[in-house]
Structure 1
């Protein structure tokens, strides 16, 4: 009886084994056919130009991954040049300000037949700026930028090889819109933080410095041009009447105010080096209502030009070394001076290496919006 049960169990096992092998073969064949069909389908989709993402995404994710970022807005910009007939301004026509629809407006101070000219060649750049503000008041672009007629000048930034064109080529117009007015010069040398004191009313006033020839006249000129306004104790801003300002900031003041300022400039008897230089300290007051406008330099450079040093100390270190390099190059090319010795040459080569690396690092950091925000996000409006 036990043997019959064993035989029965063996028969059942044999039958089940046969069924299992047969099912496995059918299953394997089905999987193979399915794989071949799927491979063929995917091949057709691929070679027909359709590429499917290997990841499952929600409709929102899919839309976000395929939509292009919004292009930056293009702003109308007038680049206003204060020039004379002899000046070569070809450099200005090669300027390419990011996201700007650029128009060159050349004022010629000493040519009454020029398309754009002031009523008189007086007061240096101030006369041309005030003339433009009055004449273009009802036809202003988004931003007006005022510069001198020359590309290279001592008062431009060392970071741009003392040229204004490279600075304009990286100027952040969004920052101009945010702040309404920005001085194109970042360094506060000869202007910040407390350059002009209105308590100095004559060359005999205690504390008068011959380096600030315009200082004794500041109080009187301010009162003449801004009657009724309280006279600030100090004025401080970077020189030298090169700045960018928005249409809104210009039109926040009545058109007649610019005419009144220009008429004062036409009728005053100060020398140009006095009257013109005094206005360098007044632009921030006109457009921002501030007598002192001296942003932290390294933060300002980062926000305005996207060249981001990590702190003020490293920025000042770079500027100091670059000034030393420029002085060295000038002395090296002076035939009246002896050639530098080998140790000096080697030291300067090492300094040049550091200068280059620091600047490249600052430029690289400036390409990152998050780093710019981290470094200079708290620069006041």
Structure 2
């Protein structure tokens, strides 16, 4: 079933993506498979993954370091938009997909490939995110999804791979499916598929159990410039180091665990466990700084589009025209979102306890109830009369009926 001559395959080193290599060549007549493994801070040693791809039949095995771009070009825009899908999930996994799609398209152009491929099945969100992003970036490029079409069970997939020299994976002691990158970890499967069961402590990697966290709080200060986090505890850091250090600090205090029933894009519900210490702290700190520096109408209107922005990312529409238009609005709102936020980390919580900015529009002489109060209290009477006039007129008419 030949569909393409040369294919660039998104490669993780797992069973499915490894079996995709011989499957594309043997069953679909692909002449050459080039694999691409994206280093997004998942912590794996990518050298063995590169070698495994070549042994599995790839003609070229690419490993691309995308960590800095992942934070600057994907995480930071999401932080500026305060993205929380269904008010809880900061999209740590979803944000990686448009970047990987971009890498695939660029590799296809560099190597003259006429198609790209992924190892997603037909049940998850990532197939949509990859394919919609790829088609947005290169509408004429073919996208192949062998794992969605081959219809093999896990055991059959392993057996198929063995026929072409792909070793049987060492039996995993863990039943969980784990997806990790610099922004966090997504955990599912096993006992977690029962929504009633409490996640066992063994599933968590980045965050400590509350009972194992320090008995003294830790205060940290995060600096922002135009909505972008730039410093931690007074030290200016590059994007990757800032996220990494904040993951360690917040995770040590048990901050960043999420347990939720999530509405997947394909129409089913799934129970998801996430660990996103840095990303959650940054979003909450950023939102708090906005409350100090943005006017009420801008703040309230921006809140109304943040849910839309979150859903666009979750649904694979990073490269859509609506998302581009919203970026323009959000970037404009961030011009004055510069300052520092103080956060108290303690026993699983990250509490905002202080904020300051040269662009603050908080006026102490208007807010105070002390002797320095400059608010004109007499003006309130006229304001209340005008503000309440429509309600008063309506009430009088209703009484007269």
TM-score where L is the length of structure 2: 0.22
**Bigger relative CO (Cα 8 Å, ≥ 6 apart):** 2
Larger helix proportion of the pair? 1
TM-score where L is the length of structure 1: 0.23
Larger strand proportion of the pair? 2
Structure 1 or 2, whichever has the larger Rg, is 1
